[in-house]
Amino acid sequence: MKAPRLSLLPLLCLLPACGVGGSTSASPTSTELEILAISVSNGSIWKVNQPIEITFDRPIEFGSVHPGSIQILDSMGHSAGGTFLHPLDANGQAQQDRLVFQPTCPQLADGSDAGLTPGGVAYRLTLHGANAGGYAILPINGEPLADTVTVDFSTPTDTAPGALFFDPVPGPPRVQIRGAGGISTAALYASYLEVAATPSGRAYFQYDNFAGMGILTAADWMFLGDGIPRNHYSIPNQQVGFVFGFDQPVLPTADNLGRLKVEYLAGTWKPLQGRVELVSNCTPGTS
């Protein structure tokens, strides 16, 4: 029998976390793309999982965002790991006049696997303009960014979690359950039971007001048939995992992850043997 997989899937809400701090403008003409603000400012200390947001004066052509038009490099010329994306508004629509770089979020306790390397590493953000003679970010309508813009920043030297990691949500992490605390009853980032490690094998927990907890519905139990499989190593369609989504990144230490347990009722509550692994510590769709 295979030990059940208890996966953690912490989530990071990009838009509320991305304030616009330092502002940089290339002073283009009215037809040229203009940068209104960049959330990281020159000389700032930037946490290893903290998103960088760039606000433009108009929607941009996302296809023009690539290593030739925008770079984040350390002093050795190594690229920061991460993903560029448009943040979503309250209605789930892409904000095409904003560009977010989400650094790869660390899954190791020391943060060494983060997209931005800890330890006071210096980085330069470069948005190439048309004056550089190469590629430049393009607006959907109008001319490209005229002049190159750069911002220099560095990561923390302090390795304490509070100094190293960006915490986008006040207070302790909360488990994401469909129907609880304003979470959509169709949210894909909420917690679920997974059978056979496929999206079609997911049964999402739904918040029950009477029980005061997340439960599996009658339809879910019909899907499970004879109940939860025994989790055999050699039978893929009988492998089981509990995947828990949180509202923020969690501290990726063994002691912290070890606090998550699944119990079953057999006269008294008893712990279910299994392993806990952090499968993502960032936004959905990023590493």
> H/E element holding 14?
helix 14-17
Are 21 and 62 in the same domain? Answer: yes
Are 27 and 161 in the same domain? Answer: yes
Helix, strand or coil, per DSSP, at residue 199:
helix
The DSSP 8-state label assigned to residue 190 in this structure reads: S
Pairing, β 82-85 against β 275-278 = unpaired
Query: How far apart are the C-alpha atoms of 241 and 231, rounded to whole Å?
Result: 9
Q: Is the entire prediction scored with pTM above 0.75?
A: no
Are 162 and 201 in the same domain? Answer: no
Residue ending a domain, choose from 167, 184, 202: 167
Q: Which of 222 and 143 is assigned the larger pLDDT?
A: 143
User: What pLDDT digit, counting tens, does each position of 193-226 carry?
Assistant: 888 776 677 889 999 999 899 988 877 777 666 6
Q: Is a pLDDT exceeding 90 seen at residue 181?
A: no
Output the pLDDT for position 25.
40
Are 129 and 181 in the same domain? Answer: no
Query: How far apart are the C-alpha atoms of 287 and 283, rounded to whole Å?
Result: 8
User: What pLDDT digit, counting tens, does each position of 81-138 carry?
Assistant: 999 999 988 777 899 999 999 999 888 888 888 999 999 999 999 999 998 777 899 9
* Structural domains in the chain (count): 2
Are 157 and 183 in the same domain? Answer: no
Output the pLDDT for position 7.
53
CATH code assigned at 42: 2.60.40.3710
Residue ending a domain, choose from 139, 167, 195: 167
Q: Which of 46 and 20 is assigned the larger pLDDT?
A: 46
Those residues whose C-beta lies under 8 Å from the C-beta of residue 238, and which sit 6 or more positions away, are 195, 196, 229, 230, 231, 232
